[in-house]
């Protein structure tokens, strides 16, 4: 039997075109497992090693779902991606822009080290997707410059590293303001991190499917 391709996982023609432009030939194991489960509306706890293609595993199903349904609240962010560092946020934004190329969706980045004023102006334009680091996002929530009452997707990328870096208080401050009916996708390179179960319990509301990809070299 042949391996499923991206066309078996993604039906949206704008997204299929973007995947073709990116030149991805076949989905990676984590994409094969996570894309159908996330597309089915499940909360996910996914563990897979660095470089295995986790970014597309959360971007594609969430964006396809959002394209297919009306937003809950036009002034709220629809998808929030939290990641531990500015460099990781930049990489996610870059990948998201490639995926969004043939859609009308916009992505905004909110990290430390940039002017708050500039970020507030960007947030007023209500990009559908925000990628950010927890510290600066928590600050914007205090200033009420963004809000997540209509949030459809919450992604915690590199959740283990966010814990390592002592960011869990900020993560919880942000996630507590997110719409409870959202879908939550938590990604991690390892599941051994102490405190990860505690974070998962507080962030994933309800049931979750666990996906562990253990690729042998
Ligand atoms: P992770 O988050 O698991 O560390 P990334 O999502 O950053 O991994 O992906 C690592 C690299 O692999 C990126 O350069 C990305 O563009 C590329 N990539 C992702 N999915 C595929 C695929 N299906 N085929 C080829 N390259 C891919
Ligand atoms: Mg990653």
Dump pLDDT digits (tens) for 60-69.
999 999 999 9
Fold of 27-68+75-212: Rossmann fold (3.40.50)
The Å distance, Cα 9 to ligand 2 centre, comes to 20
- Alpha-carbon span 200 to 154, nearest angstrom: 12
The model's pLDDT over 18-57, given as tens digits with 9 standing for 90+, comes to: 999 999 999 999 999 999 999 999 999 999 999 999 999 9
CA distance 213 to 46: 8
pLDDT confidence tier of residue 216, bands split at 50, 70 and 90: low
Is there a contact between 175 and 132 (Cβ–Cβ < 8 Å)? no
Q: CA 69 to CA 130: how far, in whole Å?
A: 18
Give the angle 204-49-29 at the CA atoms, nearest 5°: 85
ipTM computed for the complex: 0.99
CA nearest ligand 1 atom 1, residue: 51
Query: Could you tell me the residue ranges of all domains in the chain?
Result: 27-68+75-212
Percent of the chain topping pLDDT 90: 87
| % of residues, the chain, pLDDT over 70 | 98
Which residue bears the tokens 């990290």?
A: 111
- Closest Cα to atom 19, ligand 1: which residue? 53
Question: Considering only CA atoms, which residue is closest to atom 2 of ligand 1?
Answer: 54
- Residue 208 alpha carbon to ligand 1 centre in Å: 24
Residue pair 110/130 in contact (Cβ under 8 Å)? The answer is: yes
Query: First CA to last CA across the chain, in angstroms?
Result: 22
Q: What is the CA radius of gyration of the chain?
A: 16
Kindly state the average pLDDT of the residues 178-190.
Answer: 95
Q: Maximum distance among all alpha carbons in the chain?
A: 55
């Amino acid at each position: 039997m042949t391996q499923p391709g991206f066309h078996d996982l993604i039906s949206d023609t704008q997204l299929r075109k973007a995947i073709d432009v990116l030149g991805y030939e076949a989905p990676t194991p984590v994409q094969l497992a996570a894309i159908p489960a996330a597309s089915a509306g499940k909360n996910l706890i996914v563990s897979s090693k660095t470089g295995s293609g986790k970014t597309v595993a959360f971007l594609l199903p969430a964006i396809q779902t959002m394209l297919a349904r009306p937003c809950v609240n036009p002034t709220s962010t629809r998808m929030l991606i939290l990641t531990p560092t500015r460099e990781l946020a930049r990489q996610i934004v870059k990948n998201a822009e490639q995926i969004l190329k043939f859609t009308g969706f916009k992505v905004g980045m909110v990290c430390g080290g940039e002017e708050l004023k500039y970020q507030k102006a960007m947030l007023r334009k209500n990009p559908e997707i925000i990628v950010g680091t927890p510290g600066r996002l928590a600050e914007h929530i205090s200033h009420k410059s963004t809000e997540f009452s209509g949030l459809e997707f919450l992604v915690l990328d590199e959740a283990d590293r966010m814990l390592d870096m002592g960011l869990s208080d900020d993560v919880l401050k942000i996630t507590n303001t997110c719409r409870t009916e959202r879908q939550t996708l938590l990604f991690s390179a390892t599941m051994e991190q102490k405190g990860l179960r505690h974070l998962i319990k507080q962030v994933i509301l309800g049931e979750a499917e666990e996906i562990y990809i253990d690729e042998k070299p």
